[in-house]
């Protein structure tokens, strides 16, 4: 038996197929993964993401500590409520984890991955040496993500006036506290939506309200196809401790200025940046029938080979798509080995669908 979120019993009551995910018992789907995917693209749905780890960082040196810890620069958070996507790197430039960080009234709030919880907390604590900073996990909190083009309007109809007002005024990649709730607007689906962090004891009633209002529960299966269509990385597949942001389509998350900011892994990233043959993460589209899966070999004629890091059937495109790490010289055509046969694929920018619009 794995760890369980405060909503475990409700998942069972809603008919969820439960699976192990990073040591947590989580819903894969509630009947049809494909229908759940379409529900989020066309309307909205609610995900239980209470397995994610919420960490608050406070103290006189909180900013300086995070400027050392993260590849992106929290100095860019110019006002309370702004959010930033970043990676924590090791000295080799590999990704320890990716996360969201918010500037708050009390300091900073980080949301990191579930499967990396113990490793992340140990790493973050180890880096506090020399900084006047407190790093505090918040296991008493739960989190729900309501995602889709109608998510904000539908959710605002179910909450208090103060919370509804915040939902209406909240800009993308911002998050703020209202009472004992923290409401963010970041997302992992390529659609608009909300993340609501709230006391764990309040989560079951709120989920019941959402589902009762017709907002469908969505499992991890659709979460994965949605994020893949949006070209969003999954830790442990598209990026790892052996892969740098420059090799994972995350160069935009590295803040090189100010030049004197010595974040962990900077020296190695600068060395990689000077290389012309660094592998890159691209998108693949299979035009024929077949399935693209992680670890399948990608062959680029006259250039070399790479490997799929994430792959699946895209319900929106009606085709198999993938993210793949390939040699720097890859062009717009390649081949993928599927069960001993080679199939042609298009090489595209690794964003297939955003806000319901097909981009490839």
Do residues 243 and 278 make contact, with C-beta atoms less than 8 angstroms apart? no
The DSSP 8-state label assigned to residue 235 in this structure reads B
45-48 vs 216-217, strand pairing mode: parallel
Task: Find, among 88, 83, 278, the residue nearest to 182 by Cα.
Answer: 83
- What six digits make up the tokens of 65? 């500590």
Dist. CA 146–CA 216, nearest whole Å: 10
pLDDT tens digits, 90-105:
999 999 999 999 999 9
In this predicted structure, what is the pLDDT of residue 163? 98
* Binding site as annotated, residues for substrate: 195
Query: In whole angstroms, what is the distance from residue 353 CA to residue 360 CA?
Result: 8
> Distance (Å, rounded) from C-alpha 108 to C-alpha 347?
39
Residues of each annotated binding site: 195
Domains of the chain (ranges; CATH) run: 1-274 (3.30.1360.120), 276-358 (2.40.30.110)
Q: How far is CA 343 from CA 222, 312, 329, 334, in A?
A: 26, 15, 20, 8
pLDDT digits (tens, 9 = 90+) for 307-341: 999 999 999 999 999 999 999 999 999 999 999 99
At 65 the pLDDT is 98
Q: Enter the tokens of residue 129.
A: 């040496």
- Asked whether 136 and 55 are in contact (CB, 8 A), the reply is yes
Q: Give me the residues of the chain with pLDDT under 50, please.
A: none
pLDDT for the residue numbered 1: 78
Structure tokens at 300: 């680029």
CA atoms within 13 A on the CB side of 323: 25
């Amino acid at each position: 038996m794995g760890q369980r979120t405060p909503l475990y019993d409700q998942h069972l009551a809603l008919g969820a197929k439960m699976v192990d995910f990073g040591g947590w018992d989580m819903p894969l789907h509630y009947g049809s993964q494909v229908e759940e995917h379409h529900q989020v693209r066309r309307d909205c749905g609610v995900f239980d993401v209470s397995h994610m780890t919420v960490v608050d960082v406070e103290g006189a040196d909180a900013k300086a500590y995070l400027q050392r810890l993260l590849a992106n620069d929290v100095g860019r958070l110019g006002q309370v409520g702004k959010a930033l996507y970043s990676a924590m790197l090791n000295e080799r430039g590999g990704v320890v984890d990716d996360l969201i960080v918010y500037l708050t009234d009390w300091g900073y709030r980080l949301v990191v991955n579930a499967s990396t919880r113990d490793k992340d907390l140990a790493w973050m604590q180890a880096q506090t040496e020399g900084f006047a900073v407190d790093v505090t996990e918040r296991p008493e909190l739960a989190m729900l993500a309501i995602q889709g083009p109608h998510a904000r309007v539908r959710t605002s109809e179910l909450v208090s006036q103060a919370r509804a007002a915040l939902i209406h005024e909240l800009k993308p990649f911002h998050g703020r506290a209202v009472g004992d709730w923290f409401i963010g607007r970041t997302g992992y689906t390529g659609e608009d939506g909300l993340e609501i962090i709230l006391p764990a004891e309040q989560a079951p009633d709120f989920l019941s309200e959402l589902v009762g209002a017709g907002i469908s529960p969505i499992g991890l299966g659709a979460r994965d196809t949605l994020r893949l269509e949006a070209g969003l990385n999954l830790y442990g597949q598209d990026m790892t401790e052996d892969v740098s942001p420059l090799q994972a389509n995350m160069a935009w998350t590295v803040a090189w200025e100010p030049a004197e900011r010595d974040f962990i892994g900077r020296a190695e990233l600068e060395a990689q940046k000077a290389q012309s043959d660094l592998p890159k993460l691209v998108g693949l589209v299979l035009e024929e029938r077949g399935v693209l899966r992680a670890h399948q070999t990608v062959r680029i004629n006259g250039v070399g080979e790479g490997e799929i890091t994430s792959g699946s059937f895209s319900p929106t495109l009606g085709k198999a798509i993938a993210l793949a790490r390939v040699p720097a010289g890859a062009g717009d055509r390649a081949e993928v080995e599927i069960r001993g046969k080679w199939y042609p694929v298009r090489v595209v920018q690794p964003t297939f669908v955003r806000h319901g619009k097909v981009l490839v």
